[in-house]
Chain A
Amino acid sequence: MLRLTKLAVRLSLATALVVSATSTIAADTIKIGWLSSLTGALSSAAIAENQGVQLAVDEINKSGGILGRQIELLTRDTAGDPTKAVNFAQQLAFSDKVHFVIGPVNSGEGLAAVPILARAGVPNLVIGAIDELIDPEKYPRAFRVINTNRQWISTANDYAIKVLKKSKVAVIADTSGYGTASAKTAIELLEKAGVKPVYTVLVDNNKTDLTDEMNKARAAGADVVMPWTAATGMLGRLLNARGEIGWNVPVVGHPAIMAAQIRQLLNKPEYWQNAYAAGYVSTTFGSNGKLPERTQQLVDKIRPKLGGGEIDILFWWVAMGYDTVKIIEHAIKTAGSTDAAALQKVLENTRDYKGVYATYTWTTTERNGFPDSNMAVNQANTFKDGSFKLAPR
């Protein structure tokens, strides 16, 4: 009974006092919320993903939108701050009443916003890597597009242990949400593979000198260094420290090791050698020196938008951004409506959906759509036009 009377009171009040100023343009646009940290720490990933998202939205709108309805992209800059992410998630879900939400980008913000969107029942494409963001029961409408942190770490671990045949691992992670979670997962997976890390440390990603940590790792007898941080600055300083103490140990870890910004941070170009990172088949040059066909198409389409010259950002971020919007298009087209429950059902039965970044599969019990087979290990200093060569087998 209470719910009914409250509704009645609200209706009368609402008609009497028109308060909410949210725009009520043609009700039939498809509203997509995009929680991107375009400023603040770790903004490089969001900026690249944003290129892909904008391109896909423009493309779809030019070709008449989805089911004849134009896409309205509501971009909110969370600036890497979880409080803003929560506030914007509330705004998108309840004020703007969006049909879909992409993001947030960083793990800390994801942990704060995903539960809010789940409670509001808004379908959410998760692009944060840490495992705690996905839970079929608690967050039924949250589907992950990006690979899981576990996939990054196990790919890198397999390469270090099976290919490079190393056994004394030093794990260096940053103190951010992502770093802390990754260090825990890395140690767990290494021990499962029978390797106990000889040195582990969490470092503030603004620390300007990692010589201490590298010296301690060497003293502990490490024969491979595995960094888990998305902060390109910290990775650059780690590679510099490795070079300056003259310790030619392989570095295998987070894809940010391959980021173009690293090149400007290095004191010497050769400090980028003997460094490998978890990467993707979709952004790896094949033995014939060519990119996979779908990736090449997107590269050509987006190049003019990125200034026409060589692409200097990690292209897999762009491809993922592009895929998120295409997945939404696929879901709405197949469901024939923007009803959340229908979208959920469609996504739960999506098998081998061919995106640029990867081929996605979700089921009622598995919300991580990225297949292990699409993972690869790249050589860091082979950065060209946003993609890489495969690391030596």
Chain B
Amino acid sequence: MNSQTTKTLSLLVGAILIAALPFWAGDQYQLHLAALIAVYWILIAGLNLVVGFTGQLSIGHVGLLSIGSYTFAILAGKMGIDPTLSVFVSGLLGGLCGLALGLPSLRLPGFYFAMATMAFSMIVNEIVLAQVDLTGGGIGLPGPMFPKPFDSPIGFYYLVTAIALFVTWLTWNIARRMWGRAFISIRDNPVAAQAVGVPVFKAKLLAFVFSGITAGVSGALFASLQSYITPDTFVFELSMFFFVCIIIGGRGSIIGPFLGTVVLTALPELVSPLAKLGNFFYGLLLLVVVLVVPEGIGRMFEIISERLRPRTVHREPITPDLNRLAKALKVRE
């Protein structure tokens, strides 16, 4: 089927472009931007399972990002622990905080859950500001570099891209199999999800903890990339940004939110007046997408192509093949 081959082909070309980026990127600034996109994508890929697949509206993931960043800056910076180990611990702590936030709030209806996550990110900021001797309070902390091969910008770019590809592979494995179907059933029809036996709360919690881990890892790498973190780096605007990338990219897909992340990270940097608008731009984009094409821009091309040339959906009558059905019903193992 040609759509399948074109899909794998385009993925291949994409991979080559990404791998060779340091060589065709104009200068170190664009390399820094590419590394930033990869770091954001590590978080967004995990968050995509929560928002895009399971349909849980979490607008507080900047809190988990900042937990990852501060854990890394404290462990690898202040305490001098090996950075790679610190990344693991940041991811672990992100997962634990995801669990702590998810347990009480995932049982709540949509709006309650959204408010709980927003409140969570505000609380994290408050605690970071208050614990001056641990987090440096308003002054913030330096984010240390990684050891030898990854201390150069190109080395660091390959490190974060490798981790990003790994996380993408994980979410792709989940999304295309039974767990992915279960998540989407929770999003689109919780009653049907129950009917087939999906443990709705447990599944939501697993997705949320997974997104906590990726947010923790992303936070650690973010601290190293930015070389310095302060409380005002982790603003609500970032939560909106993560969330809008998914909605705009298209829920229930992986490539859509990835393209959303690339475009929405690069756009404000290239078009400087957009940077000033900040939140207004994200809000406007979100409103337009929700009203015009809620399935996201990724799906928009599909929908338009369907509307433009509605292939005559020839209605074949339903003709059961009874003995094939009987044989299928015999299968018990």
* Contact (A20, B30) CB under 8 Å given A84-B275, A86-B228: yes
Contact flags (1/0) for A71-105 with B, using CB distance below 8 Å? 00000110111111011001101110000000000
With both chains docked as a complex, state the minimum distance between the C-beta of A106 and any C-beta of chain B, in angstroms.
9
Q: How large is the interface on B (under 10, 10 to 19, 20 to 34, 35 or more residues)?
A: 20 to 34
With both chains docked as a complex, state the minimum distance between the C-beta of B68 and any C-beta of chain A, in angstroms.
15
Is chain A's interface secondary structure helix, strand, loop, or mixed overall? Answer: helix
In the complex the two chains form, is A177's CB within 8 Å of B140's CB? yes
* Contact (A87, B33) CB under 8 Å given A82-B232, A94-B27: yes
- For chain B residues 220-247, which have a beta carbon within 8 Å of chain A? 226-233, 235
Chain A residues with Cβ below 8 Å from B23 are 6, 9-10, 13
Chain B residues with Cβ below 8 Å from A77 are 272, 275-276
* Contact (A95, B227) CB under 8 Å given A77-B275, A87-B32, A87-B33: no
Interface size on A, residues (CB 8 A): 43
In the complex the two chains form, is B228's CB within 8 Å of A115's CB? yes
Query: In the complex, what distance in Å separates the CA atom of A90 from the CA atom of B228?
Result: 13
Residue A382 is within 8 A (CB to CB) of chain B in the complex: no
With both chains docked as a complex, state the minimum distance between the C-beta of A220 and any C-beta of chain B, in angstroms.
20
Most buried by A among B36, B137, B235, B278: B137
Of all chain A residues, the one with the shortest Cβ separation from B33 is A87
Chain B residues with Cβ below 8 Å from A84 are 275
Chain B residues with Cβ below 8 Å from A93 are 28-29
In the complex the two chains form, is A175's CB within 8 Å of B138's CB? yes
- For chain B residues 28-84, which have a beta carbon within 8 Å of chain A? 28-30, 32-33, 36
Contact flags (1/0) for A201-215 with B, using CB distance below 8 Å? 010100000000000
Chain B residues with Cβ below 8 Å from A76 are 272
In the complex the two chains form, is A79's CB within 8 Å of B275's CB? yes
* Contact (A82, B233) CB under 8 Å given A77-B276, A177-B140, A179-B138: yes
Residue B104 is within 8 A (CB to CB) of chain A in the complex: no
Residue B123 is within 8 A (CB to CB) of chain A in the complex: no
Residue B285 is within 8 A (CB to CB) of chain A in the complex: no
Contact flags (1/0) for A171-198 with B, using CB distance below 8 Å? 0001111111100000000000000000
In the complex the two chains form, is B29's CB within 8 Å of A91's CB? yes
Chain B residues with Cβ below 8 Å from A132 are 139
Chain A residues with Cβ below 8 Å from B136 are 180
Most buried by B among A76, A77, A83: A83
With both chains docked as a complex, state the minimum distance between the C-beta of B261 and any C-beta of chain A, in angstroms.
15
Residue B24 is within 8 A (CB to CB) of chain A in the complex: yes
Partner of B230, one of A17, A21, A87, A111: A111
Binding site for B on A (CB under 8 A): 6, 9-10, 13, 17, 19-22, 39, 76-77, 79-84, 86-87, 90-91, 93-95, 107-108, 111-112, 115-116, 130, 132, 174-181, 202, 204
Q: What are 17 pairs between A and B in contact, CB < 8 Å?
A: A13-B24, A79-B276, A79-B278, A82-B140, A83-B233, A90-B28, A91-B29, A91-B269, A93-B29, A107-B139, A112-B230, A116-B227, A175-B137, A176-B232, A177-B230, A181-B138, A202-B138
6 other contacts beyond A175-B138, A180-B137, with CB at 8 A cut-off? A13-B24, A17-B24, A79-B278, A81-B235, A87-B33, A94-B27
Binding site for A on B (CB under 8 A): 23-30, 32-33, 36, 129, 132, 136-140, 142, 226-233, 235, 269, 272, 275-276, 278
